[in-house]
Amino acid sequence: MASKMEMAEESSCTFCGKCDSTLEEHIRTQAHQSKVKSLFCHFCGLQLLSDSERMKHREESDHNKQMFKRHTFHPLLKLESTTTNITRVLTLRKLVCYLYYSNAFPYEVTLEHLKYYQSEISSLIEKHQWSSSAMVDSPILVLLEEDLRKILDCDTEYNSTRIDILKKIISLISLMKIIERESSDPYTDLYYHVQGWNQNFAKIIEDNCLDHD
């Protein structure tokens, strides 16, 4: 007959550190799946078991080599263009690629969130034929900074990389705040697109149990 300790070990979740008699139900929850994904190193293809193990792994030289290799040789990072507008789009794609491989959130959640954002920005660049003729302030900066402050700005290592990259995206978009002389306000559509993006992101946060509050 199994002891109480053995029974507890059998019903405990290695990733979440919880003892639950209904372990089969627990492993199907979004909270458990999100935890497992956050402990997976996409650079090395290695599933880690705890936060301490993940921290130790990040300090290893092999991990750093794989991280450098992944960033350096990814196809998105090889794209180059002499056209200013195209260069801006490619720069945004590089940032998306980098954020895709961060451990801030489960990678497929972050990717879908930013793919949506990237496609909206890219389509608007093409629609308005943005150029470097003039620069103005845009509501997009207010919206993105609010997103950073309310959703991402917390004192956890998980979000530090993501916050840093989103700040770079804000800087990039500030370069794209171009107004054409024949248009009264080409940013109206952009404003509503970003509002929709923030609402979409909030739903992703809720659906994947990623709320830090």
- Per residue in 35-85, pLDDT (tens digit) is 777 777 767 777 787 888 888 888 887 776 666 555 444 444 454 555 555
Please tell me the distance from the alpha carbon of residue 211 to that of residue 151, in angstroms, as a whole number: 8
Looking at the predicted structure, is the pLDDT value of residue 133 above 50? no
Please list the residues that pair with 40 across neighbouring strands.
47
pLDDT attached to residue 53:
85
User: If we measure between CA atoms, which residue out of 138, 150, 147, 137 comes closest to residue 117?
Assistant: 147
Q: What is the pTM of this model?
A: 0.33
What are the φ and ψ backbone dihedral angles of 42, each rounded to 5 degrees?
Answer: -75, -20
Report the pLDDT value the prediction gives residue 46, as an integer from 0 to 100.
Answer: 78
pLDDT value of position 2 = 42
Query: What is the Cα–Cα distance from 110 to 53, expressed in whole angstroms?
Result: 23
- Read off the pLDDT band of 130 (50, 70, 90): low
Residue 67 tokens read as: 């991280």
